[in-house]
Structure 1
């Protein structure tokens, strides 16, 4: 039988060991709710790669929460609210992720948020969901985005056309939150500036024939298509070219993809203009561009910089929160994303961790620019325009 002296000796030894032993590193599961299939599937791979680049850097620079690794878990939201609901449910309730980067389409983001993320208390940061509907979502401060809302893109698109002397347009938009939200803002701004909307018609995605819709759009030779490059956008553009009824083509960010120009005579769409969120012109953008290039990625890929920012912010928020728990992550996210604080640029994970451990406030400035979230989780941003030259999209600059 152990006597009292022996028990006391063992207790002291155990206490000493517990003080000396370092805490076990904690791995963190983070979800990627990605529209890998569906109408923007051609845009999805570089967006996913942008997020993965951020987490690869975290893991390479000592890891998270004392040396743990970020473990990504991917779900396919298919740019569809129903598919996103199922994928988000798996991420939240089966995979038990701490936070989610995604989704990319607004409908998928709202679907995943309402069905799983909000009830589960899980923070979501979308790099690409741009419809105004996300601003008014009752989300318990859990849903954010790192791209500007279409309330800005629609205004800038209209401003660009008016500045070019375009007086009338016909508009067709995919019948969802993204298409309608962007079309409404564009039409209001364009008409307020003196332009005329000859037709403004919704269409359903996934059809093989849009000739009937195009027949109702011939009131103007200037056609605005607000749809997806891998979906109705490509079909509409191809059939519009075949009709010969239009001379000028304009699209939103969903149209910027290689699939859009497949099977179309490049000369017929030379000069096609599209708008999208642009890269920030600052040190953070330059640093990200080098990181992406060194990793074999295209730093100008649509929404790849915003995906990098969303993923890096999630990691910073987890580190700030001090655990892989979901509780408190939203407040931590706002802390690391906004002033005041010492600036953290893309790739500066080690520096960020040291500052957080020292109790110093940090302020992440991302590849897409400052990320000071407003009350709705929205950020300011820059809208750029691209033109098709020689069968490829070429970025031309910011829309002032």
Structure 2
């Protein structure tokens, strides 16, 4: 009888231990992307890159006390209402500790103001580039791993002037992304002695932009600069401009560097089409990411994959540093990438966790660069101008 009771007691203890071990809650981070809407073709690769970071954490023992890090995907639809709805679900229903995204600037601004900042949830966007994000009243809780369009617009303007562009027209989508990028470009292009022969906003989703294009071409420019999305209205504008011969050359911002443009219009029709985009600086960190992403079937040259990966991996490091306390994630995010401490490359989770547990400083070296955030949560960056070649987008020149 005594042996039987001991066996029962042992079984109960084992069951309790198993129950306790199984009761550990997953640590969730939101992955809010433009799954639908004008950047739908870009979003999957960006989310896959963030998921790579999450899988590396879990493959190397998990986060905190062995918990599983889970990426909760939400569709911000690249618009303010979608961003608010996706963030509300992530924060209030899923209980995320932090958020990667949203992908588009309008969604970032809306989600931050309405949901994440009031809830005390740190957000890192890998592709929200509007200068408006810099000035957010965000209690220091909104960051980005991609440079502001103030940098991109000015760099693109200087590059075009260096390449001999004298007079251009500018078409931009009437949202936070398009407006911020267009104004930065216009100011610098004119400061560099160039002429803006047409400058007009357009609304999303119209069937025809031929009258807009006719007005823009009336100023005599042979080049149209398009600040829009290559999966949406920007593609329509480019197609109708080509079909009707309104302009001879075309330049897009990062939103126009989409495979949809090539797939829909054909390489043979894009000999005079160029697009700018942030790029990672050559580094061991970038090489490490490229190899890891390629190994899981990803395209390391896809736009915003480096910034998406870095956002997720950095948030994991920050959560670890903060001991899982979401109120300390923003502060910890700055501490794990500030130029001080032992270097951590993409994928080096076990090494970083050990150092954090020992109370030692770490300095994450990102695939997209060293993300040493300024007071506004912004980072500097590097850009390149791309053309369409036989294998897709190819670098023409680096921009500065």
How would you bin the TM-score normalised by the shorter chain?
over 0.9
- Say which SS state the counterpart of residue 208 (structure 2) adopts: coil
Matches within 5 A, 1:193-272: 193-218=192-217, 219=219, 220-272=221-273
In the alignment, which residue of structure 2 is the partner of 1:8?
Answer: none
Query: Are the aligned partners of 1:316 and 1:336 in contact in 2 as well (CA < 8 Å)?
Result: yes
Instruction: State yes or no: 1:72 paired with 2:92.
Output: no
In the alignment, which residue of structure 1 is the partner of 2:7?
Answer: none
- Say which SS state the counterpart of residue 306 (structure 1) adopts: helix
Q: Return 64-73 or 179-188, whichever deviates more.
A: 64-73
In the alignment, which residue of structure 2 is the partner of 1:362?
Answer: 362
Cα drift, residue 265 of structure 1 = 4.8
Cα drift, residue 22 of structure 1 = 9.6
Question: How many Å separate the matches in 2 of 1:201 and 1:363?
Answer: 44
Cα drift, residue 327 of structure 1 = 1.2
Query: Are the aligned partners of 1:270 and 1:391 in contact in 2 as well (CA < 8 Å)?
Result: no
Matches within 5 A, 1:123-142: 123-142=122-141
- Say which SS state the counterpart of residue 313 (structure 1) adopts: helix
Query: Are the aligned partners of 2:214 and 2:246 in contact in 1 as well (CA < 8 Å)?
Result: no
Question: How many Å separate the matches in 2 of 1:80 and 1:394?
Answer: 30
Query: Are the aligned partners of 1:63 and 1:70 in contact in 2 as well (CA < 8 Å)?
Result: yes
Query: Are the aligned partners of 2:248 and 2:272 in contact in 1 as well (CA < 8 Å)?
Result: no
Instruction: State yes or no: 1:337 paired with 2:364.
Output: no
User: Given the superposition, is the C-alpha separation of residues 122 and 322 from structure 1 closer, same or farther in structure 2, using an over 3 Å criterion?
Assistant: same
In the alignment, which residue of structure 2 is the partner of 1:52?
Answer: 51
User: Given the superposition, is the C-alpha separation of residues 105 and 241 from structure 1 closer, same or farther in structure 2, using an over 3 Å criterion?
Assistant: same
Cα drift, residue 259 of structure 1 = 1.2
Cα drift, residue 207 of structure 1 = 1.2
Matches within 5 A, 1:28-177: 28-177=27-176
In the alignment, which residue of structure 1 is the partner of 2:8?
Answer: none
Question: How many Å separate the matches in 1 of 2:177 and 2:376?
Answer: 17
Long gaps (5+) in structure 1: 1-17
Task: Give the total of aligned pairs.
Answer: 382
In the alignment, which residue of structure 2 is the partner of 1:3?
Answer: none
Superposition RMSD in Å: 1.8
Long gaps (5+) in structure 2: 1-16
Question: How many Å separate the matches in 2 of 1:64 and 1:189?
Answer: 45
Question: How many Å separate the matches in 2 of 1:76 and 1:114?
Answer: 18
In the alignment, which residue of structure 1 is the partner of 2:12?
Answer: none
Instruction: State yes or no: 1:314 paired with 2:315.
Output: yes
| Superposed CA offset, 1:316-356 (max 9, x none) | 00100112x31111111111121211111101000000100
Instruction: State yes or no: 1:191 paired with 2:190.
Output: yes
In the alignment, which residue of structure 2 is the partner of 1:178?
Answer: 177
Query: Are the aligned partners of 1:279 and 1:300 in contact in 2 as well (CA < 8 Å)?
Result: no
In the alignment, which residue of structure 1 is the partner of 2:4?
Answer: none
Question: How many Å separate the matches in 1 of 2:266 and 2:93?
Answer: 47
- Say which SS state the counterpart of residue 129 (structure 2) adopts: coil
Query: Are the aligned partners of 1:267 and 1:390 in contact in 2 as well (CA < 8 Å)?
Result: no
In the alignment, which residue of structure 1 is the partner of 2:9?
Answer: none
Cα drift, residue 261 of structure 1 = 2.8
User: Given the superposition, is the C-alpha separation of residues 265 and 335 from structure 1 closer, same or farther in structure 2, using an over 3 Å criterion?
Assistant: closer
TM-score by length of 1: 0.92
Question: How many Å separate the matches in 1 of 2:318 and 2:150?
Answer: 27
Question: How many Å separate the matches in 2 of 1:23 and 1:327?
Answer: 26
Cα drift, residue 230 of structure 1 = 1.0
Query: Are the aligned partners of 2:286 and 2:367 in contact in 1 as well (CA < 8 Å)?
Result: yes
Question: How many Å separate the matches in 1 of 2:319 and 2:167?
Answer: 49
Question: How many Å separate the matches in 1 of 2:61 and 2:281?
Answer: 28
Cα drift, residue 160 of structure 1 = 1.1
User: Given the superposition, is the C-alpha separation of residues 26 and 355 from structure 1 closer, same or farther in structure 2, using an over 3 Å criterion?
Assistant: farther
